[in-house]
Amino acid sequence: MAGGRPGKSGPASADAAVAAKAANENFPVALRLLPSTKRRYLMAVYVFARTADDIGDRAPVADRFGLLGELEADVRRLYEGTLPNLSPVRGLCEAVTKCDIPIQPFLDLIEANRQDQVVSRYQTLDDLLGYCRLSANPVGRIVLYVFNKFSAGRADLSDYICTGLQLAEHWQDVAEDYADGRIYLPAADMAEHGCTEQDLAEPHGSRRFKELMAFEVSRARSLLDAGAPLVGTLSGPARLAVAGYLAGGRAALAAIEAADYDVLAVTPRPGKGRTLAELMGALVRGR
């Protein structure tokens, strides 16, 4: 990504490189079990979101706003029917057309990356949740459109799952984010648990830091549980996909617990076995 606009060397090679990163993230194990058409649509959405993130995280700092602006312009051209063939958002065309996905979720994902350029600390939980409304919740809403299951009620439940999953990923990556100059732990929570930014620079988490992480893990789990009834409103591939995202979040939180909340010493990643167990549990319970 660094040094040029994503997709300049050709959309196929760019998409393949970005998609390969899915294996290193909490990408649902259920994805490979979905019908090929739906799987292709979801992968196109993932590639778009990852492309926007890579611009916001890896492109030369001086170029990021410009590149994000170009990406937004291409999204708008997609909806106007004037998208160039070599655009990095070309892969979204079929999904947008066949599933009638609105433009706003894609614009929100781009805006989240703009926010990352100017905001590196969050004072309160509400501030962080506002960021998640841009960075995470749009993905869940797009997924509902992909399966033709969107409704206002389902979107609300999806938002809980996506926010919980986003927080789980932030808590896995506390050390990595700090090294990149970002702290997603709310400053108010850190202060309440007696933690400072210096605690995040240590090679191991202190007792108070682990207590803070246990608190944040519990909060993220509560959000996932609040949205979990969405699974029970769905059937077939849609139920499988949403249960997969929910399982990924729950397994990530379990991995943090298994590491004794010391996310400074290690980046906890769940094993496929635990994720699969969480998936089966969500499918059976419908939540």
155 phi, psi to nearest 5 deg = -65, -40
What is d(CA 103, CA 59) in angstroms, rounded to the nearest whole number?
24
Cα dihedral 169, 8, 88, 16 in deg (nearest 10): -60
Alpha helices in 4-63 (DSSP H): 11-19, 36-58
What is d(CA 174, CA 169) in angstroms, rounded to the nearest whole number?
9
CB 186 within 8 A of CB 265: no
Residue 268, by phi and psi: left (phi above 0), alpha (psi -120 to 50) or beta?
Answer: beta
The whole-number pLDDT of residue 85 equals: 84
Weakly modelled stretches of the chain, pLDDT under 50: 1-15, 23, 26
pLDDT tens string 14-48: 445 555 555 455 455 567 789 999 999 999 999 99
Q: Is residue 168 part of a domain?
A: yes
Pick from 60, 146, 46: nearest CA to 89? 46
The whole-number pLDDT of residue 205 equals: 97
The tally of domains found in the chain comes to: 1
Which two three-digit tokens encode residue 149? 């299951």
Q: How does DSSP classify residue 27?
A: -
Q: Is residue 98 part of a domain?
A: yes
Q: Is residue 192 part of a domain?
A: yes
What is d(CA 284, CA 161) in angstroms, rounded to the nearest whole number?
18
Determine which helix (DSSP H) or strand (DSSP E) holds 92, and give its type and residue range: none
Determine which helix (DSSP H) or strand (DSSP E) holds 74, and give its type and residue range: helix 64-80
CATH number for the domain spanning 113: value is 1.10.600.10
The whole-number pLDDT of residue 86 equals: 81
The three-point CA angle 29-30-32 to 5° equals 85
pLDDT tens string 134-179: 999 999 999 999 999 999 999 999 999 999 999 999 999 999 999 9
Q: Is residue 3 part of a domain?
A: no
Q: Is residue 69 part of a domain?
A: yes
Q: Is residue 5 part of a domain?
A: no
3-state helix, strand, coil in the chain (%, to 5): 75, 0, 25
Pick from 243, 238, 216: nearest CA to 228? 243
Pick from 254, 83, 58, 229: nearest CA to 159? 229
What is d(CA 26, CA 171) in angstroms, rounded to the nearest whole number?
13
The whole-number pLDDT of residue 23 equals: 47
Using the CB atoms, write b or e for 190-206: b if 16+ within 10 Å.
beebebeeebbeeeebe
Q: Is residue 99 part of a domain?
A: yes
**CA neighbours closer than 13 Å in the CB half-sphere of residue 175:** 16
Q: Is residue 223 part of a domain?
A: yes
Range of the domain at 201: 11-285
